[in-house]
Copies of this chain bind each other. A is one copy, B any other.
Amino acid sequence: MNKKEQMEFLSQYEDFWGHLSDEEKEFVCHNTEYVTYHPGQNVHSADLRCVGVLFVRKGCLRVYIMSEEGKEVTLYRVNPGEVCILSASCVLSEITFDVYVDSEDLTEVVVLNAFAFAKMMSKNIYVENFSNKMKAIRFSDVMWTMQQILFFSFDKRLAIFLYEELIKNGPIIRYSHMEIAKYLGSAREVVSRMLKYFEKEGIVLVSRKEIEIVDKKKLMERL
């Protein structure tokens, strides 16, 4: 992606781009970079550098927290056309917590560096508002996750996960049990056990490489 293509891509973010002066657009142009991340690559973490605002073009970013003991809880995913704002947390005064961001697929992003973004926020109220609005959207995502973890029993949570995958990508699911466990803030054993139970109930077929949803109706009864 050359600079012109990068700017064309950013212009789709109307809330952001639509309120910039020509001078500011020029400034953005000098402070962005086109980056590709490999599946599984760490993009941002608390103790490393503060990457900046990530405008996702292709692929998917996973945003998560991690305990001192290494337990991970996925907060949400950032999909194409969306923005990863918490990767600029070092310049966001209202954000007092740290997250990790990993690339899940081959992910293409346009990165606006954190310090350039901070400078723009201090001078343009629309940019500051864009930043705060993106945080508010993720606040809602996190509340959803929190309610899943705290209130829903695990069979329901796994059923919701499988149902969402069915709707998005069809009946064949290629995530490992470990990946599903991470996504649901649980342990691999718990996922494997529940999948075995779902298999006995005739909802799924589990093989080493994939999970196949064989009875949509029965799955929906679990939601």
Contact = CB atoms under 8 A, between A and B. Distances in A.
A135 interface: yes
Contacts of A142: 139, 142-143, 146
Contacts of A94: 133, 136-137, 139-140
B129 A65 contact: no
Nearest to A65: B147
Contact of A140 (B96, B143, B144): B96
Contacts of A150: 65, 67, 71, 73, 149, 185
A140 B99 CA distance: 11
Nearest to A132: B132
A65 B149 CA distance: 13
Nearest to A67: B151
B146 A136 contact: no
A222 to B, nearest CB: 16
A221 interface: no
Contacts of A147: 65, 67, 97
A9 interface: no
A73 B151 CA distance: 10
A114 B142 CA distance: 24
A150 to B, nearest CB: 6
A68 interface: yes
B96 A144 contact: yes
Interface of A: 65, 67-69, 71, 73, 92, 94-97, 125-126, 128-129, 132-133, 135-140, 142-144, 146-147, 149-151, 185
